[in-house]
Structure 1
Amino acid sequence: MDLQDQLKNLFPDHVPQNDEPAPAKSDIWLQDDPILCKYEKRKGKPITILEGYNGAESDFKKLAKELKTRLSVGGSFKEGKIIIQGDYRDKIMHILKEKGFNVKRVGG
């Protein structure tokens, strides 16, 4: 007798619920065009640049903050671009694909 049978004997009137996790809904507007993920060096230091988002600027800022937090790196949001310190193209592309974005790798 397994645990489920024992619970049915103890609580015959209980109807178990099937709690399936709902698909993660993003509060950020998703676009059809891909976000461009670039790699550059500025003053000898590597940076990753994300550009090409055509939604609200506040959503892009939220995305920038989440990326910086998840990667534990510094960065900024300037002129419609997210600038992340370091070469994190693969990790950023994976995070954005999880959120439902189309991402295109540019350069290197």
Structure 2
Amino acid sequence: MMSRLILQLNIHEFCQSAELPQAALLEIIEHGILEPSGASPEQWLFDANALVIAKRARRLQGELQIEWAGIALALQLLDELEQLRAENTQLRRRLSRFEAE
């Protein structure tokens, strides 16, 4: 049986790993881009998925030079696009089975 390592970083480790100043992280959380576990910043924990999202948000913010609210919308639209593409691929596979008959 394979064990899964669960990454949990506190706010300082997360900021360092994501290469984000703490003020930027607080803005990202305020705009709902990330939702850490824990009641207060001192108790917040972030997982590997949050790290991926934060790095993506930071990259988009650097490339597009827009505010975090715009980044939140851009990330939401990119997620929807990925879901639609996956659904489209799945539907094309189903359709190809009927066309082959």
The answer to whether TM tops 0.5 is no
Larger Rg: 1 or 2? 1
Bigger fraction of residues in strand: 1
Q: Relative contact order, CA 8 A, sep 6+: which one is greater?
A: 1
**TM, length-normalised to structure 1:** 0.30
**TM, length-normalised to structure 2:** 0.32
